[in-house]
Amino acid sequence: RSSAEKFEFQAEVSRLMDILINSLYSNKDIFLRELISNASDALDKIRFLSLTDKEVLGDGDTAKLEIQMKLDKDKKILSIRDRGIGMTKEDLIKNLGTIAKSGTSAFVEKMQTSGDLNLIGQFGVGFYSVYLVADYVEVISKHNDDKQYVWESKADGAFAISEDTWNEPLGRGTEIRLHLREEAGEYLEESKLKDLVKRYSEFINFPINLWSTKEIDVEVPADEDDSTEEEDKPEEEDTEKGDDEESEDKPKTKTVKETTQEWELLNDVKAIWLRSPKDVTDEEYTKFYHSLAKDFGEEKPMSWSHFSAEGDVEFKAVLFVPPKAPHDLYESYYNNNKSNLKLYVRRVFISDEFDELLPKYLNFLKGLVDSDTLPLNVSREMLQQHSSLKTIKKKLIRKALDMIRKLYEEDPDESTDKDKKDIEESGDNEKKGQYARFWNEFGKSIKLGIIEDAANRNRLAKLLRFESSKSDGKLTSLDQYISRMKSGQKDIFYITGSDKEQLAKSPFLERLIKKGYEVIYFTDPVDEYLMQYLMDYEDRKFQNVSKEGVKIADSGVKELKEAFKDLTKWWKSALASWNVDDVKVSNRLADTPCVVVTNKYGWSGNMERIMHSQTL
């Protein structure tokens, strides 16, 4: 088209498209759920705007919040249309080509290593999956603030945008036309589309309609000889007495099959979270999780919790622990507030970027909250300030921590990941080692929680796992540590460092271990910070054994102290220029003659190491 403006795809986007278009990937189905998910997002957006301004919906068909699919078998076109918010010309340019999202290159990398396309939606580049099945795509869109435009591309590095003067006006929303490739013919079958919607888009909260072919029975006037029909239809002169004139033995009509087309609703729009938990099957929760998390792998979530809160603040919620941590969970931890909960108010989707619902350290959870108490007709900013949110947040944290605790209680196997692999290989992995698995994926979040959430510190400390001089290669907990404490032992002993083999050989531990004390090995850089916040647990203090203050029951130290008084004094003055605070006789060593320990309030040697390398 001569009036079309041409644009080049941003380089990473172009690369992604190349990979998709040349992919030999067999499961190309995913494009449909990505398009439906985009349509649903667009509908959510217009519905949200309509809460404060009814006008935006328009009238007649334009106001219908739905998704429609149509097939043109002759031209091999599949089109998907929504009456969502639509895109302005600028939106089309930016969203579909010129601005690469942060996930683009991450996804390209992932694609090349794993070849798994299932996660495309999670990386924010789902739209481009259309090129798995189409070699030419048109996006027709009408936003309330702009004219109707057509975006089109053959995935040849460029796209074009034109003002739409030839298609039927959409009213509002977006129609995506896929000109299917030769080998993608299966997507022209109605049954295939119905099947895919059932499988992947079951939890879309808007009606999805397919313009489908129906065989219907029609009554036509019976004819003496069946050969000719249309031409000589007996148009009898009909009178009011027509009925009486029919004789009983002569059939007046007969039934024939005819095909027509009509809209067929493919999903029943039911909100799973409104149902009673006992009526929802595990399989339904799993599917719901997949659609929420845009993660369509095979894996089940590790756990979930579905509950409702009553009283002053009413809401329903479903929380999931994902099977795996997302690729960038801790990468973006400090500059990303976004929780993974979707907020609904009375069934209306409000936002999935609400940072007031969960504290940062629980951002690994996925889920949904639907509140009847929050007001519907206010802006997001005002909602963010609403007093009920505090109550909701408090209950969500409580429930989340309960869910994680139960994960342990139901399956207390604490084999480490290595053992876990053996179990997996032996095929008996349905439940075993769930908590170790959880710890492996999300343990760091629990530690960050201990640092950040003073109110729940004790609850979180219960969830803490580590290895120790007595844990025998398995994970162990503070409660288990306490149950093994020697009589007379007051403090919980730990040591920090970069790996446990090295720690086990540390001179700081010699005597303690010989005497049968247990020492916790903290080997994660975050542990140093953790222990600055975790001062005590169940009335017991923590003692870093590389610092001063280790108290173990022993006799004879007093005498030794006396006997070596002068020597220690001399040492102290001799080492004054080395910034040594004190020199003491100690009972913590067995074979090593002496050791440098850190002041109680100073950084441990390990912390110094971390600060030097800044590895958190």
Of the candidates 496, 447, 449, 488, the one whose C-alpha atom is nearest the C-alpha of residue 468 is 496
- Retrieve residue 352's tokens: 């999935």
Sites for ligand ADP among residues 275-314 (CB under 6 A): none
Q: How many residues bind Mg ion (CB under 5 A)?
A: 2
One of 97, 126, 322, 367 touching ligand ADP (CB under 6 A): 126
Residues in the chain: 616
- Retrieve residue 66's tokens: 């739905």
Distance CA 44, CA 348 (A): 8
Q: Is there a contact between 531 and 495 (Cβ–Cβ < 8 Å)?
A: no
* Cα 274 to Cα 345, 353, 369, 371, distances in angstroms: 12, 22, 11, 11
* Cα 223 to Cα 59, 128, 243, distances in angstroms: 47, 56, 17
One of 4, 19, 105, 124 touching ligand ADP (CB under 6 A): 124
Does 126 sit near Mg ion (CB under 5 A)?
A: yes
- Retrieve residue 143's tokens: 């936003």
Distance CA 480, CA 488 (A): 17
Nearer to ligand ADP, 79 or 468 (CB): 79
| Residue 538 annotated as lining a ligand binding site | no
| Residue 152 annotated as lining a ligand binding site | no
Q: Per-residue string for binding with ligand ADP, 156-195, x by CB under 6 A?
A: ------------------x---------------------
| Residue 126 annotated as lining a ligand binding site | yes
- Quick one: residue 3, left, alpha or beta (phi over 0 = left, psi -120 to 50 = alpha)? alpha
Would you give the DSSP letter of residue 65? -
Distance CA 48, CA 344 (A): 10
Pairing of strands 492-496, 519-522: parallel
Alpha helices in 240-299 (DSSP H): 242-245, 282-293
Q: Which partner from the list ligand ADP, Mg ion, none does 277 bind, CB cut-off 5 to 8 Å by kind?
A: none
Does 10 sit near ligand ADP (CB under 6 A)?
A: no
CB of 138 to ligand ADP, least distance (A): 13
Nearer to Mg ion, 38 or 363 (CB): 38
Does 32 sit near ligand ADP (CB under 6 A)?
A: no
One of 21, 42, 436, 461 touching ligand ADP (CB under 6 A): 42
Interhelix angle 388-409/434-452, rounded to 10 degrees, is 140
Nearer to ligand ADP, 123 or 435 (CB): 123
Would you give the DSSP letter of residue 186? G
CB of 85 to ligand ADP, least distance (A): 6
CB of 52 to ligand ADP, least distance (A): 20
Nearer to ligand ADP, 118 or 498 (CB): 118
Distance CA 178, CA 138 (A): 7
Q: Which partner from the list ligand ADP, Mg ion, none does 42 bind, CB cut-off 5 to 8 Å by kind?
A: ligand ADP
CB of 267 to Mg ion, least distance (A): 18
Q: How many residues bind ligand ADP (CB under 6 A)?
A: 17
3-state SS record for 191-237: HHHHHHHHHHCCCCCCCEEEEEEEEEEEEEECCCCCCCCCCCCCCCC
The Cβ of residue 49 has, within 10 Å, a number of other Cβ atoms equal to: 15
Nearer to ligand ADP, 111 or 461 (CB): 111
Nearer to ligand ADP, 104 or 415 (CB): 104
| Residue 102 annotated as lining a ligand binding site | yes
One of 9, 13, 29, 38 touching Mg ion (CB under 5 A): 38
Q: Per-residue string for binding with ligand ADP, 61-90, x by CB under 6 A?
A: ---------------------x-xxxx---
Does 291 sit near Mg ion (CB under 5 A)?
A: no
Assign 406 to helix, strand or coil.
helix
Q: C-alpha angle 66/199/266, rounded to 5°?
A: 35
Q: Which partner from the list Mg ion, ligand ADP, none does 415 bind, CB cut-off 5 to 8 Å by kind?
A: none
| Residue 366 annotated as lining a ligand binding site | no
Nearer to ligand ADP, 170 or 401 (CB): 170
Pairing of strands 67-72, 208-221: parallel
Nearer to ligand ADP, 81 or 500 (CB): 81
- Retrieve residue 62's tokens: 């334009």
Binding residues for ATP: 34, 38, 82, 87, 95, 101-103, 122-127, 174, 380
List residues binding ligand ADP (CB under 6 A): 34, 38-39, 41-42, 82, 84-87, 95-96, 124-127, 174
Binding residues: 34, 38, 82, 87, 95, 101-103, 122-127, 174, 380
